[in-house]
Structure 1
């Protein structure tokens, strides 16, 4: 009888622990970037007006979100300058106040049409250019996880054996749970990998906003910024249910031994 009860509890644990909540943030089907849902960061405009290659454009009229500059952005060889690299970002407003969005998986379909970088950003602070950036760079074809702190980038890892080219559509999953950060990518139309291809450890940031971004990286050539995002979702893990049930199994086991 006891064995049957334990088996039932373990089965319940397995069923519940696999459940995760997937939230559709935006599929841009409205044709606009809703200002009640997203905040825009455009470094191509200053207090004195647009820069020569600005302003930045946040265009969802096609049913996808296209981030682009209106002119060619001059390169900044050897270094990344977020304020001078044509950088644009859209931040999910709810994540600024709800810590639920600080642990989980941000997923989107992405395409880059010029030799620049685009990224899914986790735990961002838009005012200081700080975040975990899960980068796709169409200039060198490399996927990376980079930590930006006050605009200074620190490479945390590069994904081996997978490269991208301009104009390709890719699914990208960026995950931060605790101090573990992982990236899973696959080209649209190909099979989804079972596991992330890149995982790194870093505990610099514990919370912040979700975001979508695009701009020049260090070493990129003079070019316009042009990157597109669609079908943006956030997957919330369910660790609490699993922990509670595991505690219950442990307690039952102790009770059995005492008998």
Structure 2
């Protein structure tokens, strides 16, 4: 039987992993199923099998792993999708299936950056009145209620899909999907008179140019820290490392 790998995805890294396993064929005979949360209306589908939607918690995921005879799980979800990471650890342990976390490294400040860390979106909202008046909010369409009461501030909100209320009273929505260019981010800051940026520490290259543009413009950046994740799960930083981990699983037991 071919090795059946469940990739908990929705990220660039998850899609690249599926491409390496399916399209490039780095491990011939491997069967890949990518699971997407369904929070984006028109996601970029990876090659191989796909499923969309939740599992019903850790117990539901464990039952899915049993029913579909999954041999390995790779948690390549977004760094801020913390709940699924704990559910994956619990489910994989319950059914004795190997689990790997594919996590992109977080961003690191450079000389000239004016970063202000926050532990949550609510914490980021508390910092804003003292930092600027025209906010470039790049935290996605979820959680905008944290900024809804800041009526004295104006927001440029960028997200893949249109946000739902409650959200700030004074705002403009920019529907766009990364990767973004440095020239494009510079132009947005200039055109809209942005004087403060808010971002989650998503890591990776696709949305990092905004940090460089903010540093060049000399504007402060509120960076929301990542939520906790299980600390007893092996971690890979790249799809290539994840493929190497899978190769190490092949053998008589799988």
Q: Give the TM-score taking structure 1 as reference length.
A: 0.25
**Greater strand share, structure number:** 1
- Looking at CA atoms only, which structure, 1 or 2, has the larger radius of gyration? 1
**Greater helix share, structure number:** 2
Q: Which has the higher contact order (CA 8 A, sep 6+)?
A: 1
